[in-house]
């Protein structure tokens, strides 16, 4: 049974006798378009032990009160899943795309990237950081196996090669012993699980960033390009991320004679002093470019346009630059990357 079909869920609830509560739940789910209220961070009641676990694992939370932590997680948005394929479609291989969760337009862009896949094989997406719950991921897995999938290809869509988000997802699928965040329940399934690669270092992402730079460029020798990434919260992983950005920068330099291409990380979830230092470095670099009469192009390695783009505009307020408005999954070449991963990771 597909849990994203609220009327089927209603029937299931009715059989258990909780008819009034389930009627309200199913009506809310139908209206909300599968954004299940029970999966949101903001409504979760946390214990002292859970707050302590988060502070031990997330440096940013050590400087926040309990209430501020709840407000921070509430701004992350809900955890929820969406089944993209027609319910009549069956197949032995199911695809589960994992995303951080974005603003509504970003979620739609993410889903649109997987719609061609969903027309060919059972496909679902799971949104959210899964810091406090894995229910939505379990529900997506159940949907795929209900459609006949005995192999599940998990596609973690993040430009961080390592870090909390990818680590939490790997923990949930039993691929690491410790949870980077809270120790949520792990997925239970009889299907074979194939945990695919992130697009982090793939040349296709470099090609997408190059194309975005070309679209915004008018005179490459008189222009500089900043590649801005969300960035991990600790110094060692941040150094790895900067090295990855340099790989992309090298390909962009080979593709067009820009005066300079340089990578930066915001470390958006790091303690405030760390993030402020990164923003200061970016502002100083842009300022020097402006003073030397170079036009500044700013691109992000984010999957979709969203809240971080807004933060970048705030961070660079008062400076003259052109910000790319699209994420990597919004480029037509991203579908080619999806196809290549499916072809190499499944029989």
Same domain membership, residue 313 and residue 174: no
Residue 38 lies in a domain: no
State the pLDDT at residue 103.
87
Same domain membership, residue 321 and residue 214: yes
Same domain membership, residue 184 and residue 51: yes
Domain count, the chain: 3
pLDDT range class, residue 36, cuts 50, 70, 90:
very low
State the pLDDT at residue 63.
84
Q: Who's near 230: CB < 8 A, 6+ residues apart? A: 159, 160, 265, 266, 268, 269, 301, 302, 308
Rounded average pLDDT over 166-186: 92
Residue 342 lies in a domain: no
Range of the domain at 19: 1-33
Q: Sheet containing 260-265: which strands, arranged edge to edge?
A: 260-265, 223-229, 295-300, 322-323
Per residue in 85-104, pLDDT tens?
Answer: 999 999 999 999 999 888 89
Residue 332 lies in a domain: no
State the pLDDT at residue 69.
84
Per residue in 183-200, pLDDT tens?
Answer: 899 999 999 999 999 998
Per residue in 251-268, pLDDT tens?
Answer: 999 999 999 999 999 998
Last residue of a domain, one of 198, 217, 251: 198
Residue 276 lies in a domain: yes
State the pLDDT at residue 129.
87
Same domain membership, residue 64 and residue 192: yes
- For 172, the enclosing helix (H) or strand (E) is helix 164-172
State the pLDDT at residue 347.
66
| Position 243 pLDDT exceeds 50 | yes
Looking at every residue in the chain, the average pLDDT score rounds to 85
Instruction: Say what the pTM is.
Output: 0.80
75, 181, 183 from 49: Cα distances, Å? 22, 13, 11
Q: How many CB atoms lie within 10 A of CB 88?
A: 6
Total number of residues shown for the chain: 347
Residue 222 lies in a domain: yes
Residue 322 lies in a domain: yes
Least confident range of 23-32, 55-64, 102-111, 236-245: 23-32
User: What is the CATH classification number for the domain harbouring 309?
Assistant: 3.40.50.1400
Same domain membership, residue 77 and residue 167: yes
Same domain membership, residue 194 and residue 211: no
């Amino acid at each position: 049974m597909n849990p994203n079909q609220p009327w089927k869920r209603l029937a299931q609830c009715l059989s258990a006798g909780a008819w009034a509560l389930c009627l309200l739940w199913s009506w809310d789910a139908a209206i909300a378009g599968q954004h299940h209220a029970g999966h949101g961070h903001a409504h979760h009641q946390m214990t002292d032990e859970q707050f302590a676990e988060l502070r031990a694992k997330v440096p940013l939370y050590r400087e926040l009160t309990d209430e501020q932590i709840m407000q921070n997680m509430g701004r992350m948005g809900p955890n929820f899943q969406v089944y993209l394929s027609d319910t009549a479609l069956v197949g032995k291989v199911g695809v589960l795309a994992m995303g951080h969760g974005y603003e509504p337009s970003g979620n739609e862009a993410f889903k649109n990237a997987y719609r061609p896949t969903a027309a060919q094989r059972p496909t679902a997406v799971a949104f959210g950081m899964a810091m406090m719950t894995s229910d939505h991921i379990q529900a997506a897995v159940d949907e795929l196996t209900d459609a006949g999938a005995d192999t599940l290809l998990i596609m973690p869509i993040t430009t961080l090669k390592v870090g909390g988000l990818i680590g939490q997802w790997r923990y949930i699928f039993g691929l690491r012993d410790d949870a980077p965040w809270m120790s949520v329940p792990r997925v239970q399934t009889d299907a074979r699980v194939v945990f695919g690669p992130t697009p982090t270092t793939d040349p296709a992402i470099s090609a997408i960033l190059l194309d975005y730079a070309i679209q915004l460029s008018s005179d490459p020798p008189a222009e500089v390009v900043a590649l801005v990434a969300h960035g991990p919260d600790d110094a060692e992983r941040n150094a790895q991320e900067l090295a990855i950005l340099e790989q992309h920068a090298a390909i962009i330099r080979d593709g067009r004679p820009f005066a300079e291409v340089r990578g930066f990380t915001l470390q958006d979830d790091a303690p405030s002093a760390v993030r402020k230092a990164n923003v200061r470095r970016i502002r100083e670099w842009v300022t020097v470019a402006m003073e030397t009469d170079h036009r500044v192009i700013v691109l992000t390695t984010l999957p979709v346009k969203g809240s971080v783009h807004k933060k970048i505009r705030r961070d660079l307020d008062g400076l003259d630059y052109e910000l790319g408005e699209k994420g990597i999954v919004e480029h037509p070449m991203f579908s080619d990357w999806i196809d290549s991963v499916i072809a190499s990771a499944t029989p």
